[in-house]
Amino acid sequence: GQQVMQIPQYQHVQEGEDFTTYCNSSTTLSNIQWYKQRPGGHPVFLIQLVKSGEVKKQKRLTFQFGEAKKNSSLHITATQTTDVGTYFCAGGRAGNNRKLIWGLGTSLAVNP
C-alpha cells in the first residue's frame, strides 16, 4: 500500500545547529501536513502545503513541498531546546481526500 517514508528516524543536534527532516511518498499527494509532538504530549498542527513547489516559513521553520508533490521537507534553522520533539508529516492521497497517510516521525533531540 501507499506509504510515506520519513527520514531520519532520530536526530541529535547541538543547540544552534540546523535540522532537516524529509518525507517521501511513492505516489502523488494532494497535500501534506506537518505536526509536532512534544515528549509526553500530543501532535499539534504546524502547517499544510498544497501547491506543487510550495514553500512556507514560520520563523525558523521552513517547509517545502516538492514539484512532483511526492516529497516534502521541514528545515529548522539554529535549533533551540524548545524544538525538541517528534515531527510528523502526513500526506493526503490524491484521488481520496479522506485519510491521511502518516510518516513514522523524526525525533529531534537538542543538546544545550
Question: Which residue, among 53, 41, 32, has the nearest Cα to 85 in the 3D structure?
Answer: 41
CB 93 within 8 A of CB 101: yes
Which residue's CB is nearer to another protein, number 9 or number 80? 9
Return the C-alpha cell found at 5: 517514508
> Which of 22, 25, 43, 63: binder of another protein (CB under 8 A)?
43
Per CB under 8 A, 48 contacts another protein: yes
Q: Which listed range, 13-21, 62-70, 76-84, 88-96, lies at the site for another protein (CB under 8 A)?
A: 88-96
Distance, in Å, from the CA atom of 52 to the CA atom of 106, rounded to the nearest integer, reads 23
Per CB under 8 A, 104 contacts another protein: yes
